[in-house]
Amino acid sequence: MPEFLKGNYKVDATIEDKADAADSTDAFEKKALSRLGGSICFVSKKSLMWQGEAQPAGGAAAAGEATTRTASRATPEKGETDGAGTKDSRRA
Amino acid sequence: MELGRKIAGALEAATFERVAGVGLANAERNHPRIVHSVLELAGTPLGAGDAAIVVGAGPSLQRRRSLERLRASGFAGTIVAADGALGACLRAGVVPHVVVSVDPHPARIVRWFGDPGLTAVPADDYFRRQEMDPIHREDELAANRALVGLVDAHGPEIKVAVATSAAPAVVERCEQARMELYWWNPMYDDYDKPGSLSRRLWEMNGLPCLNGGGNVGTAAWVLTHAVLGRKRIALIGIDLGYAPGTPYEKTQYFPELSDMLGARHTEAFIHTENPVTGEVWFSDPAYHWFREVFLEMARDANCETFNCTEGGLLFGPGMTTVPLDAFLDTIPPAARKGSHG
């Protein structure tokens, strides 16, 4: 703001930079909004379940491949699953 | 754009702000207790066939006596309940095969399992104020005592699909009631992005991450399809809205909306006519977001989802709306003699 107020005169008023105030307003809004959120996240355009990186064939998570796909993901990627087919992919 | 929809548009990020920190802290605290992955649930004896019913704690559960009708039908498919619906299920004689719990709140959620440590009416009016399980409005302590007894009695018959974000108090209560715990991680963010929290969690405990859809009812549907592999899933008590005539003061997010918007809080509610019943239900920004997310997920999933709530706001592409009795009539007779239903 101060750089826009240069001129061939002086003013008595002190011009305060509002950047900090704007930041604190944003933080307040963020905090207020967070109280309205859900109990678990939703991650858009991702599969219903992700089982981590697929292991080499025969490994523990070898069956962790998608058996179906979502419309938003044309090609299922490793470890993503939207349906069953998970029985052999236990990790814990 | 209406104020409610505008706020709803910001809730994907806001939910991350709300739950990520405490969820990750709980995951670290719960880590030593993890024995079974939720993936093991698919190999355990649950209900027969590919049909399942997911039970939420919305007002239609009481209004339509859905649980009593389910019980009378002898449905032998799989029954998965949100934690908030557990008490209503047990009181109706329906013992769910699986209960899902995810909310990291340190004190509230244990109440859905009956809190043996509750000896005085709490200052927090969360349970008295809202519609989810109206029995708490009448006598909170008596309702809690009765639930403690029911959960203690049926605990060994019930498996809990518990998120690593769950409060340790919930985990302790489930273990005390001899419920078997099966663990999973909430998906917090895009696991393909650098620094992803979801990936960090998976690296820490090796558990699958489920995309939870904002609330435990939606997470229960995700689990029923993606983990248990059920292909025909009926919903009861998942309204994602408030019934006609519900005072705003009795809605779940009223204190937060009132604090945030002051006198304008009424503008945050969104009223919509249910095309089947003709009733006008309403949502707040959170429920509106839950609804949009659920419909998006159901539309893309490789399963049939039947809204059998006979009310609520969950209708649209990807969702087949049918009365509960009509869905139950489609179940083969062999799958209608359940010990849980």
CA distance B245 to B280: 9
DSSP-assigned states of every residue in B26-69: HHHHHGGG--EEGGGGGGS---SSSEEEEE--STHHHHTTHHHH
Helix and strand counts by DSSP (H, E) for chain B? 14, 12
- Domain assignment of residue A63, yes or no: no
Domain contains A24: yes
pLDDT digit string (tens) for B165-174? 999 999 999 9
Contacts of A67 in chain B (CB under 8 A): 302
Contact in structure between B286 and B252 (CB atoms under 8 Å) = yes
Domain count, chain A: 1
d(CA B75, CA B57): 19
The reply to whether the predicted model has a pTM over 0.90 is no
Burial of A41 by CB count in 10 Å (0-12 exposed, 13-18 middle, 19+ buried)?
A: buried
pLDDT above 60 for B288: yes
Give the pLDDT confidence score for residue B239 in this predicted structure. 97
Residue A48's pLDDT is 97
Residue A73 pLDDT class (50, 70, 90 cuts) = very low
Domain membership flag for residue A30 = yes
Parent domain of A8: 2-34
pLDDT at A69: 30
What average pLDDT does the segment B198-213 reach?
97
Which pLDDT score is estimated for A8? 72
Which of B233, B299, B302, B303 should be substituted to probe chain A, the one whose Cβ sees the most A Cβ atoms within 10 Å? B302
Q: What is the pLDDT of residue B61?
A: 96
Q: Which residues of A touch B207 (CB under 8 A)?
A: 91-92
E-only strand ranges, chain A: 49-50, 80-81
Q: Which of B13, B36, B297 sits opposite A48 (nearest CB)?
A: B297
The answer to whether the Cβ–Cβ distance between B302 and A87 falls below 8 Å is: no
pLDDT (0 to 100) of residue A85: 37
Residue in chain B closest to A89 (alpha carbons) equals B39
Angle, nearest 10°, between helix axes A19-34 and B254-261?
160
The answer to whether residue B324 scores a pLDDT higher than 60 is yes
**CB B11 within 8 Å of CB B286:** yes
What does the pLDDT read at residue A2? 56
Please state, as a whole number, how many other Cβ atoms lie within 10 Å of the Cβ of residue B193. Answer: 10
Inter-chain CB pairs, A–B, below 8 Å: 198
Which pLDDT score is estimated for B139? Answer: 86
ipTM, interface predicted TM-score of the complex: 0.92
Domain range annotation of chain B: 3-335
A79 domain-assigned: no
Indicate if the pLDDT at residue A83 is higher than 90. Answer: no
- Residue range B48-73: average pLDDT? 96
Coil, strand or helix at B75: coil
Mean pLDDT of A51-79: 44
> Is B193's pLDDT higher than 90?
yes
B83 alpha carbon, distance to own chain's centre = 6
Report the SS3 class of residue B281: strand
Please answer yes or no on whether B300 and A86 come within 8 Å at the CB atom. Answer: no
Which tokens is A49 given? 């379940």
Mean pLDDT along residues B136-156: 93
Q: For residue B17, what are its two tokens?
A: 């702000």
Q: In B, which residues are within 8 Å of A36 by CB distance?
A: 7, 11, 14, 253, 256-257, 260, 284-286
Q: How far apart are CA B197 and CA B300, in angstroms?
A: 25
Whole-angstrom distance, CA of residue A91 vs CA of residue B246: 45
Chain A environment of B256 (Cβ under 8 Å): 32, 35-36
Question: Which of chain A's residues have a Cβ under 8 Å away from the Cβ of B205?
Answer: 92
pLDDT of A31 > 90? The answer is no
Q: Which amino acid is at B149?
A: G
Q: What confidence score (pLDDT) does residue B281 get?
A: 97
Identify the pLDDT of residue B135.
79
Give the side-chain half-sphere CA count within 13 A for B228. 34
Domain membership flag for residue A70: no
